[in-house]
Chain A
Amino acid sequence: GAGVSQTPSNKVTEKGKYVELRCDPISGHTALYWYRQSLGQGPEFLIYFQGTGAADDSGLPNDRFFAVRPEGSVSTLKIQRTERGDSAVYLCASSLGDTLTDTQYFGPGTRLTVL
């Protein structure tokens, strides 16, 4: 079956612009995670959804970052007033959500470049 998909695969934007990154999780997965990965580093947690609600958004770096999952499936990560330091690969993962140790399946990521 289809895995986690993310669009766009690459996004180049200018400093100060607004961007939206989309994640389509595996069908039936109730848990969805967003991570940010800088070059040479491991993924850094941003936000976790269980269903439609953000169960944990403690990883969002500041109020320029926001994410939604209105119907409990597709999620959008929104970044306002982008800064050069926001450049990274943004990864999405989903899991069944039945238990805390359910395997997370990652998408290929969106590479964001802020000029």
Chain B
Amino acid sequence: GESVGLHLPTLSVQEGDNSIINCAYSNSASDYFIWYKQESGKGPQFIIDIRSNMDKRQGQRVTVLLNKTVKHLSLQIAATQPGDSAVYFCAEYNLGGSYIPTFGRGTSLIVHP
């Protein structure tokens, strides 16, 4: 079946480095994507979103890139900090069909001081 997945289950970086977390999606009808951050013992927290009519969106220290040709999404975190350590999920929506998100497995980001 169609699903959202992540290439790297764990990513370890040094404080100050830039981090890139990747996500592959297979539903070509998906037209809205969100990145969530989930810290231990907490629920997911919205980071940034992007619609399919865009290929890049920037926030504070974060950038999401969308490549619809290869159905790939990435989250870039600049100057990664220990507080960025968490599990990151991408979620896809097909707003024309259902507004219920499908989440991928997640990538654990570990930032070493």
* Chain A residues engaging chain B, CB cutoff 8 angstroms: 4, 40-45, 48, 56, 58-59, 91, 93, 100-101, 103-109
Contacts and interface: CB of A to CB of B under 8 A. Distances in A.
Given A56-B98, A100-B95, A101-B32, A42 B103 contact: yes
Given A40-B105, A42-B105, A100-B95, A56 B43 contact: no
Nearest to B89: A42
B3 to A, nearest CB: 10
Interface residues of B, number: 22
Main SS at interface, chain B? strand
A45 B43 contact: no
B26 interface: no
B56 to A, nearest CB: 18
Contact of B43 (A58, A59, A107): A107
Interface in B16-45: 32, 41-45
A42 B91 contact: yes
A43 B103 contact: yes
Contacts of B32: 101
Nearest to B51: A101
B103 A44 contact: yes
B45 A45 contact: no
Given A56-B98, A91-B44, A107-B43, 10 more contacts: A4-B43, A41-B103, A43-B89, A44-B103, A56-B100, A100-B93, A100-B95, A106-B42, A106-B45, A108-B42
A103 B44 CA distance: 11
7 closest Cβ contacts across the A-B interface? A42-B103, A106-B43, A100-B99, A45-B100, A42-B89, A103-B46, A106-B44
A90 to B, nearest CB: 10
B42 A40 contact: no
